[in-house]
Amino acid sequence: MINDSTTTAAKAERVATVACQFCSTLNRVTLDRVSQGPKCGSCGRPILLDRPLHVSDDTFQQVLSGTDIPVLVDFYADWCGPCKMMAPILDELAHDRLGEVLVLKMDTDRNPVTPSGFGIRGIPTMILFDHGRETARQTGAAPRPQIDMLLARSQPQ
């Protein structure tokens, strides 16, 4: 027989799979212990989840499928003015919602395969994923309250 408290504790543990910003090694991070300062299992440097993390065509699916919390992906390009306007909003969002939402950024010029697969034709485009499924999408720059409403679509009612 399975102990119900053990099962509940296992269900409550939230994890994210993220690439180290320094060595690109994928790491599984327990989000309930993010305040303890997770470190990369390969290089030992800190994994900073209080800011948007960059993903590539190579790491996108692994990060998405290995994360239990909603994932907001900003598809952008360095030359895009509206994308630059969104950057501080997404920085603030990642900081404010640490452990609740994983904010990712994907440069569409350097990583054309994934955006093409999602039919992205304009940037910035933000797509919200919940358990690997697209649940909401915003194309074009938007103020923080609009992004918060987008995230609310992933919250239990």
Exposed/middle/buried for residue 30 (C-beta within 10 Å: 0-12, 13-18, 19+) = middle
Structural element, H or E, at residue 133 = strand 133-139
In the residue annotation, 80 being an active-site residue is answered as yes
Active-site residue 43, yes or no? no
**Cα radius of gyration rounded to whole Å, the chain:** 16
Written as six digits, the tokens of 141 are: 């720059």
Sign of torsion over alpha carbons 31, 65, 57, 73: negative
- Return all residues near 141 (Cβ < 8 A) that are at least 6 apart: 82, 83, 85, 86, 124
Question: Which residues are catalytic, by number?
Answer: 80, 83
